[in-house]
Every structure is written in structure tokens, then in C-alpha cells.
Structure 1
Amino acid sequence: MSKKLTDDPIKTAMLVVGAFGSCLVLIGLCWDFLSNNILPNTIIGIYKQSFWENLVISLHGVLIDLVLVAILILWLDHRRNKRALNQQFKEDLEDYALLDFDEVNLKKLGHLKRLNLNGIESVNVQNLVLNRMHAKGLTFSNCKMIGLKLANGKIEGSNFTSVNMRSCNFEGTELKSAKFNSCILLRTKFISAKLKGISLEQCNLVRCDFSGANMQSTILRESNVQGAKFAQANLKRANFMGVKNLDVVELATAKNLDYIQVDECVLGELKVLRPDMNFQGKGRP
């Protein structure tokens, strides 16, 4: 224990300041006894009782300065340690990104959560594998998470804003209360995923694969869906208002198009291609 204290300069300095402060406070508390019984009989040259009294008072001022400096040093040391720990989390994510074992994936997910707790939302890591994990309450923005793989898992209560996430894999994954805003999801796989009620607004969904996905009430407003696949997807009440490069013929391959929200011109084409669908009238919300 003593070796650890002496090896750490911060702890050593705190120990010295603590010992000095304890002695000084003890002298101050016992000053009446010292001044009445010891100091009157202890005179060495100019070092009389008044000198020691002034010295003790001056040392109290020094103690206050030392305490303030100690608080500042501790705060700076805490920030330094926090930065070092965050950097270690990021390096671990990069080092173990490609490994696909439940124990390792759980550790990587824990690192992401701790980075978020430390106020870091920008995490740049490629080909991160988190298959079969339950990612809850994560927030990422203005970063690159290219090639993220979270298949057969769950993403819940998480937000992604302006994140480059091209070539991700969310096959068979349930996304609940998740929001993707202005994200690049180029060539991402959502095959057989559960996307009910999530938001994919203003995203790049070029060549994404939504085959067999449950997209009830999913919001894709103003997103680019060029080359996206919707075969056998459930698009009931999905919002496609203002989407760009929508292939109506491909959209018609969906399993369920009831009450889908699309622009009037697209709705007209869908009525011809899918006469079995239920749709809302002009006064639809």
C-alpha cells in the first residue's frame, strides 16, 4: 500500500498536504495550552511567542492555498485519467472489432455505453461486430461506424444522427424506438428485421435490402431509396412522403401496402399495380 502511494506523485503530494494540514490544525486547536505553558518559556533570540503566533497564522494561509491547489490538481488528474480511459475504450473497440464471440461482443457493447456515459457520442470504428447483442440507450452523432454488424439482436431507444453507417448488417434484428436522422446507410441489410415505428428520415438508403422486414409505421420521409428492395416487406402505414428515387414497381413487391403514406402520383401507380391494397383518401393525414 505504501509503495503504491510513493509511486504515484499525486497521491504522495496529497498525503504530504494532508499531514501538514492535520498538524497545523492540531496546533491551532491546542494553541491556548501551548501559548500558556510552553511558548512563554521558549525564547530563542528573536523567536518569541509573538513570532510563533504570527507564523501559525501565516501557515494557515499557506494551508488554504495548498488545499486550493490540491483540488485543482485532483480535478486535472481526473480529467487526464478520464481521457486516457476513453482512449483505451476506443482502442479496444478497434482491436477487437472483427471478433464475433458473445463475451467479446458484450465487452465491446459495454465500452460503447461507457463512452456515452462519459459524454462521447462521436465514435469512429469500422466493421464492429455486435451480433446477438441488445444495444439499449446508445447515442451517436457525426462519426463513422461503417460496416457495423448487429444481426439477430436488438437496438432499443437509440439515436444515430449524421452517422456514416454504410454496409451495415441488421438482418433479423429488432429495432425499437430507434431514430436514424441524416445517416448514410448505403447497402445496409435489413432482411427480415423488425423496424416497426422507427425513424429513417433524410437518410441515404440507396441499395438497402428491406426484404421480408416488418416496417409497419416506419418513417422514411425525404430519404433516398434508389435501388432499395422491399420484396415481401410489411409496409402497412409506412411513411414514404417525399422520398427520392422511389421505384414503384419494386415497392409493389411488398407483402402489405395497406394505408401506406406516399405522394399522390406514387399512390396512383400503386393502385394499378396492387389493386388489393387498402389506401387512404385525399384527406389522409
Structure 2
Amino acid sequence: MPDAKKPSFDKIKSHPYASIFLVFSIYLIITIIFSSLFPWLSKHILPNTSLGIYNKDFWINLLINLNASLIDFIFFGIALFIFQRRNERKTLIEETKNSLSDISKYNDVTLNLKKVGLIRRLNEQKCHTITMHRLNISGSGVEMRDVKLIDSDLTGLESESIYFNTVYFEKCNLKSSNFQRSKLRNLTMLDCTLKNVNFSHSNLKGAIFKECRLMGAKFNNCNLQSAILSGSNLERVDFEGANLNFCNLKSAININATELCKAATLNYIVLDPIVELQVRSLRGDVKFSR
């Protein structure tokens, strides 16, 4: 049992604030004891004991000052603790980002799993902004789950054949990225730049792309069933062979109806009235909700 407790005790002793906490604890205990016992001391000892300025009034003033300094000690101690914790967090974030940068471009499944772990660790430190060009996290067996990125620049991200689950991007730059043959569940992209991104042969069922810039993106042979692309720029987007059943393209701009009709299925797709009329004239097999 003593051996089991030793590592925890050693960890406490090695903490940078251990000595300060020890001094404060002794100071606190002594002050509280003498302040609590002062009525008894002032009645039985101090009235009959005096040496120079060391009389009853001196000890009263001293205890008052000691208690006041305790408040200062606590206040500045808390401020110092918060400042130190903030510096420790900042240092940890920088070290994690540097570790990610050192291995960012190597394409190895083990390393790619480690990269995803580093990104999750950054999220745990409340860091959601990363600038990392041509980051490679590709590979079957690589999974990114419960990740949130905001105002990040991941230009040229390589994430082919991976599994996303509950990943959130907001105001991120992902242009020229590669998501081919990936399964992207509960994917949310808001106000992101996705120019020339390749989603070919990926499963994007229920994915959300709101107000995104998707110029030149490739969705050929994708499963986009029930996906939301409302308000996005769909200029030169390739939908050939895609499943667009129940897909929502309401308020999307620069839709080319001819290219849209190259999708494998378009049943119950949600479109603006003008685009819907164009699709009806080009594809008589499409079912629309009444």
C-alpha cells in the first residue's frame, strides 16, 4: 500500500507550487489557531505579560494584519495560479502543434492515427484553430471522431479512405483537399472554402455544407442522400453518378442543371423553382414532392 501512494506523493512534491502551498498552509494554520485562541490568551496571559512594545495592543494589531495578509495571499495566489495554468496550456498547445507539424506530410497509417490523436488533444485544450498545409491523415483504419475546427487552414488535406464521425468545420479553408472513398458521418461544414475538393466515391449521407464555396468540387459517385448544400456556390461541381435523393440545394447558386442531371438519382431533391423546372425538362424520371 505505501508503494502505491508514493508516485502520487512524489508528483505533489515535484509540483512547482508545492513549496509555496506548504508555506501558505503553515501560515494559515498558525494564524487561525492564534486568532481563535486570542480571547483566552488576552484574558489569561497578555494582561500580565508585557515587554517593550510587545503588549496586548501589539498582538491585536499583529493578528489583524496577519488575517488581512491572508486575503492578499489568497487573491494573488489565485491570480498567479490562473496565469501559470494559462502559460502551461499555451506551451502544451504549441508543443502539440509542433509535433503535428513534424509528421504532417508522412503517409503512414500509424503516424496518421497519431496525427488524429494530436488534433483531438488540441481540441481537449480548447484549441480549434490549426494552420497545416498538405496534412496527410489518409488510410483505411484511420478514424477522426468528435473533432471541431474553426478558422483553420488545412489546404491540401489528404484524407482518402478514412472514417469521419461527428466532425465540425466552420470558416475553414480546405481547398484542393482529398476525401475520396471516405465515410463521412455527421459531417458539418459551415462557411468553408472547398474549391476543387475531391469527394469522389465517398459516403456523405446527411452531410451539411451550408454557405460553402464548392467551386470545382467533385461529388461523382457519391452518396449525398439527405445532404444539405443550401446557400453554397456549386459552380462547376461534378455530380455524375451521385445519389442526390432528398438532397437539399435550396438557395444554392451557380447550379448547372445539365451537370446536375448527370447524377444517378435525384428523387425528391429540394431545388429553387427555376432550377426545378430545368431539371424536370431534362429528366422525366425524377420524382418531386408535391
- Normalised by the size of structure 2, how large is the TM-score? 0.82
- Contact 2:190–2:211 at 8 Å: present in 1 too? yes
Q: Deviations over 1:227-256 (max 9, x none)?
A: 222221111122233333333333232221
Cα deviation for residue 69 of structure 1 reads: 1.5
Q: Which amino acid aligns with 1:167?
A: S
CA distance in 2, matches of 1:61, 1:6: 30
Instruction: Give the number of aligned pairs.
Output: 280
- The answer as to 2:75 corresponding to 1:65 is no
Q: 1:36 to 1:146 in 2, by over 3 A?
A: same
Distance 1:89 1:190 in 2: 29
Query: Could you tell which deviates more after superposition, 39-48 or 89-98?
Result: 39-48
Match of 1:261 among 258, 265, 270: 270
2:111 aligned residue: 104
CA distance in 2, matches of 1:2, 1:194: 51
Seen in structure 2, the aligned counterparts of structure 1 residues 39 and 229 have a Cα distance that, compared at 3 Å, is same
Deviation of 1:165 after TM superposition, in Å, equals: 0.8
Secondary structure (helix, strand or coil) at the match of 1:177 reads strand
Aligned to 1:187: 196
Q: Take 2:253 and 2:10, find their aligned partners in 1: how far apart are those partners?
A: 68
Which amino acid is 1:161 matched to? E
Greater mean alpha carbon deviation, residues 27-36 or residues 94-103: 27-36
- Are residue 152 (structure 1) and residue 161 (structure 2) matched? yes
| Rounded Cα–Cα distance in structure 2 between residues aligned with 1:113 and 1:30 | 54
**Equivalent of 2:62, from 31, 48, 55?**
55
Which structure 2 residues correspond to residues 161-200 of structure 1 after superposition, within 5 A?
A: 161-200=170-209
Q: For 1:21 and 1:186, how far apart are their aligned partners in 2? A: 63
Match of 1:113 in 2: 120
Shift of 1:214: 0.5
- Structure 1 vs Structure 2 CA RMSD: 2.9
Could you tell me whether the CA contact under 8 Å between 1:6 and 1:12 is conserved in 2?
A: no
Displacement of 1:265 = 4.1
Pair 1:74-2:81 in alignment: yes
2:230 paired residue among 221, 230, 235: 221
Once residues 280 and 216 of structure 1 are traced to their aligned partners in structure 2, the CA distance between those partners, rounded to angstroms, is 14
Aligned twin of 2:136? 129
Contact 2:156 2:175 in 1 (8 A): yes
Change (3 A) 1:23 1:188: same
Distance change in 2, residues 1:6/1:140 (3 Å) = closer
Q: Decide which of 10, 18, 24 is 1:17's aligned counterpart.
A: 24
Distance 2:117 2:239 in 1: 34
Of 228, 237, 252, 2:246 maps to 237
| 2:271 corresponds to 1:274 | no
Q: Any stretches of 5+ residues in structure 2 without a counterpart?
A: 1-8
**Comparing 121-130 and 66-75, the one that deviates more:** 121-130
Tell me the CA shift for residue 154 of structure 1: 2.3
Q: How far does residue 170 in structure 1 lie from its aligned partner after superposition?
A: 1.3
Counterpart code for 2:25: G
Instruction: Report if aligned partners of 1:133, 1:150 keep a CA contact under 8 Å in 2.
Output: no
Alpha carbons of structure 1 residues 265 and 66: separation in structure 2 relative to 1, 3 Å: closer
SS in 2 for 1:178: strand
1:208 offset after TM fit, Å? 1.2
CA distance in 1, matches of 2:276, 2:52: 105
TM-score (norm 1): 0.84
Match of 1:143 among 152, 157, 179: 152
